[in-house]
Structure 1
Amino acid sequence: MSELNALFRKRIGISEHEAITFDKLDTVLEKAALSIPFENLRVIEGKTTAITKENVASKILLHREGGLCYELNSLLYFFLIENGFDAVLTRGVVYRPAEQQYLEIGKTHLTILLAHAGQTYLVDTGFGGNLPLKPVPLSGEVVSSANGEFRVRKENSEHGDHVLEMKLKHKDTDWRIGYAFDANKPIAGLSECDEIQAIIVSHEQSPFNKNPLLTKLTASGNITLTNTSFTQWADGVVTKESIDSARFKELAKQHFAWRDWDSYE
């Protein structure tokens, strides 16, 4: 077993001796969502590195940080390949429901497509609080998880040929678009992840280069921390607290304990 395989299992709490079959992917995705935050701190700090297998494993598994989609899903992709799955990475464009339009910065979402038993599935652990927690078939079938209902719909547009749609538990009453993606255009190499990161770091319309953001799922909902607020969803009840920098560090240490928050400025 490779070091990445062993460390990923340790990070999310799966035995080194457990075989990872397709039927076990629900468990892998749930444990990853509960263990590894979606966060942008290295972007905010100006401390990003090239997206390589070694760098992503070091950041998330050795230093126990989180990451953005191009880090979280590339790491999961490496784990899936090492456990015998047929998977590729592909790019997508995130939809902003408040503006009713796709992000103008382009295909900056990285996700995974997995082939199994004659079907293709979308697998994503890098979409913040919007995670399906299960493989979602491209056939249009609805899958349900602790986080809501999810489906993939075929739709050709300038943004891709399919869209992921969702109804998040306790939040959505109607289907809404998460992102569009290309099912037949896998990335050519990790250099495309560097391209995504460069846009996220430098583009004026990037949603992740202005203020710190940390979020992850919990057993009863999710938590989101920024430099000005702390929001908790627990069994459908939302609470929001306005915070200052001292409270930010306190909450970060309490809920995202994998980092040396005393050194964070």
Structure 2
Amino acid sequence: MDSTQVDAYLRRIGVERPARPTVDVLREVQLRHLQTVPFENLSVHLGEEIVLAEKRLLDKVVGARRGGFCYELNGAFGSLLTALGFDVSLLAARVHGDEGRLGIPYDHLALRVRAVDGSEWLADVGFGAHSHYPLAFEAREEQEDPGGRFRIVEAPQRGGGNAADLDVVVDGRAQYRLETRPRVLGDFVAGAWWHSTSPASHFTQSLVCSRVTEDGGRITLSGRTLKVTGPEGAREERELETGEEVLDVYRERFGIELDRVPTVRNPNRSG
């Protein structure tokens, strides 16, 4: 990223250019990213190609003021952090599913980030509901966050797992299993293709657009169901009646301009 691209990205998330890559800066840019750049899978249902290349990610997230799913959001965010002076590694993860099953290889992309003081952090703006702030990577005790109580623990070695794998646990439930070997963005192409095309992927089965709200809650549009959750858990839910109303919510609540309402490409799949 050049200086002009960095400035545009920072304007997109409403952050002044920082002087140094400190932990406080990392906390600020992660929270602001979660508040301003939605987690969304609209491209899957609009027939838009998902390309894991820095320029294409910046064109989408910054230029078109869109969001994306993990590969896009953490891919772009990692580029921004690197440009700001942080030492960033891309890490692969597999999401924990029902009955202890793990998702596909390269199921998720997260970031290991080293700040100027040498401390290391797990940064993730691409999981949907996750921690609002980076998690201390080496800490094994519980970490309190507005998004829940998080722990990073050594993963059990069942099923041929790697001894270095870590489980990210929230509120006592394993969320994803994280490898510690650094990857490059191109390693995730097959995972992005699978999640955007496979009938077995939950991303092809439903529509989602979600972000953290300024009060620490969350707003989510799933198809035509609008859900607003407050920081204390109070929840409002309503069904949008018209396509025009759907497009208005995308525009006014998520900053996304669409010329047509996305429709689920794989509506008959269940489970």
Greater strand fraction, Structure 1 or Structure 2: 1
In the alignment, which residue of structure 1 is the partner of 2:207? 212
Measure the CA separation in 1 of the matches of 2:134 and 2:238. Answer: 31
RMSD of aligned alpha carbons: 2.1
| SS state at 1:208 partner | helix
CA drift at 1:81: 1.2
Deviation at 1:159, TM superposition (A): 5.6
Post-superposition CA distance 1:125-176 (Å, at most 9, x none):
1110223422332331333232222221111444651011113xxxxxxx11
The answer as to whether partners of 1:159 and 1:180 remain within 8 angstroms in 2 is: no
1:93 aligned partner: 94
- Bigger drift between 108-117 and 135-144 goes to 135-144
Output the TM-score relative to the length of structure 1. Answer: 0.87
1:229 counterpart = 2:225: yes
Larger deviation, residues 197-206 vs 117-126: 117-126
The aligned amino acid for 2:190 is: E
Q: Percent identity?
A: 23
| CA deviation after TM superposition for structure 1 residue 101, in Å | 2.7
Q: Does 1:149 align with 2:153?
A: no
Matches of 1:23 and 1:253, distance apart in 2? 31
Contact in 2 for aligned 1:111/1:124 (Cα 8 Å): yes
- Aligned partner (choices 249, 252, 266) of residue 251 of structure 1: 249
**Structure 2 letter corresponding to 1:250:** D
More moved, 50-59 vs 87-96: 87-96
Aligned mates of 1:240, 1:37 — CA distance in 2: 19
- Consecutive unaligned residues of structure 1, counting only runs of 5 or more, are 168-174
Match of 2:192 in 1: 197
Given residue 177 of structure 1, which amino acid in structure 2 is its aligned partner?
A
Is the contact between residue 230 and residue 240 of structure 1 (CA under 8 Å) also seen in structure 2? yes
- Asked whether the 8 Å contact 1:92–1:159 carries over to 2, the reply is no
How many residues matched? 253
Q: Is 27-36 or 156-165 further displaced after alignment?
A: 156-165
Q: 1:41 to 1:211 in 2, by over 3 A?
A: same
CA contact (8 A) 2:112 2:137 kept: no
Q: Is the deviation greater in 37-46 or in 245-254?
A: 245-254
Segments of structure 2 that go 5 or more residues without pairing to the other structure are 263-271
Q: CA offset at residue 242 of structure 1?
A: 2.5
Q: Distance in 1 between matches of 2:130 and 2:114?
A: 22
TM-score w.r.t. the length of structure 2 is: 0.85
Q: What's the CA shift for 1:241?
A: 1.3
Cα deviation per residue 1:57-77 (whole Å; 9 max; x = unaligned)? 000001100010001111111
Q: CA deviation at 1:231?
A: 1.1
Report deviation, 1:118. 5.3
What aligned pairs does 1:103-122 form with structure 2 within 5 A after superposition?
103-116=102-115, 117=117, 119-122=119-122
Report the Cα distance in structure 1 between the residues aligned to 2:189 and 2:144, rounded to whole angstroms.
33
Give the 3 Å change call, closer, same or farther, for CA 140–17 of structure 1 in structure 2.
closer
Q: Is residue 179 from structure 1 mapped to residue 180 from structure 2 by the alignment?
A: no
Secondary structure of residue in 1 paired with 2:155:
strand
**Alignment partner of 2:134: what SS?**
coil
Give the Cα–Cα distance (whole angstroms) in 2 for the partners of residues 186 and 204 of structure 1: 29
CA–CA separation in structure 1 for the residues paired with 2:161 and 2:252: 39
Aligned to 1:69: 70
Distance 2:48 2:188 in 1: 16
Taking the aligned partners of 1:100 and 1:131, their CA distance within structure 2 comes to 24
Q: How far apart in 1 are the matches of 2:234 and 2:161?
A: 35
Aligned mates of 2:154, 2:193 — CA distance in 1: 29
Please give the secondary structure, in 2, of the residue aligned with 1:7: helix
Contact 1:5-1:79 at 8 Å conserved across structures: yes
**Paired letter, 1:139:** A
* Alpha-carbon distance change, 119 to 253 in structure 1, aligned in 2, over 3 angstroms: closer
- Report the Cα offset of residue 21 of structure 1: 1.7
Structure 1 position 238 matched with structure 2 position 221: no
| Change in CA separation of 1:105 and 1:203 when aligned onto 2, cut-off 3 Å | farther
